[in-house]
Amino acid sequence: MAAEEVGVDEALEFTPMKKEDLLAHLDAFPKDRLVQEVVSMWEELGELERELAMARQRARALDGELVNVRSRSGARVDLAELEERFRVAEARRGQLETMLANEQGRRKELEEVVGEGRVDELRRENAALIRREEEHMLLILDMESKIDQLMEIISNLQNDE
């Protein structure tokens, strides 16, 4: 269940395992797979946090829009529509918060089993890989500009002949 995406309905039905049962269950899995699960859950948590932030931002925008509409006119149709959109956004925000809480709980359990040291090590490795990727990208861009300069020089030499 750790690798599956948990919906709101599933989250309500989820009953946490005792720590001993969880340890016995996870002990059957290879450590590499558990590490992959932790990294995967970390990425999913980041995505859920981004979605939650966007939902909160949309809710604030809709609330501001609702206030503007109320102050500008007394049109009941527009007001009712905005109120409904706001209620939907609030419901979605609640769902995302529940999913986020579930994900954080699962990550914490996995970190306890795998070890926080290994998770930190993976984070450092990930940061180093991202830095190396950026350095390589800058090197490639520099090489492309040098190639363009060489092509221009060759073109100028051919035109001079």
Higher pLDDT, 80 or 47: 47
pLDDT for 5 equals 42
pLDDT for 76 equals 58
Higher pLDDT, 115 or 76: 115
| 12 pLDDT more than 50 | no
pLDDT for 130 equals 94
Q: Which residues contact 2 (CB under 8 A, 6 or more apart)?
A: 37, 41, 106, 110
Q: If pLDDT is split at 50, 70 and 90, which confidence band does 41 have? A: confident
- Alpha-carbon gap, residue 123 to 109, rounded angstroms: 17
| 9 pLDDT more than 50 | no
pLDDT for 153 equals 92
pLDDT for 4 equals 44
Any idea which of 3-17, 31-45, 136-150 has the lowest mean pLDDT? 3-17
The answer to whether residues 139 and 51 touch, using CB atoms and an 8 Å cutoff, is no
pLDDT for 137 equals 95
pLDDT for 101 equals 92
Contacts of 23-32 with C-beta under 8 Å, sequence gap 24+, read 23/113, 26/110, 26/113, 31/114
| 3 pLDDT more than 80 | no
Q: Which residues contact 58 (CB under 8 A, 6 or more apart)?
A: 89
pLDDT for 74 equals 57
Instruction: Provide the token pair at 40.
Output: 């995967």
Say if pTM beats, i.e. exceeds, 0.85: no
pLDDT for 14 equals 59
The answer to whether residues 11 and 98 touch, using CB atoms and an 8 Å cutoff, is yes
The answer to whether residues 110 and 79 touch, using CB atoms and an 8 Å cutoff, is no
Q: Within a 10 A sphere around the Cβ of 86, how many other Cβ atoms?
A: 17
50-108 pLDDT per residue, tens:
999 999 998 888 888 877 776 766 555 567 788 888 999 999 999 999 999 998 888 88
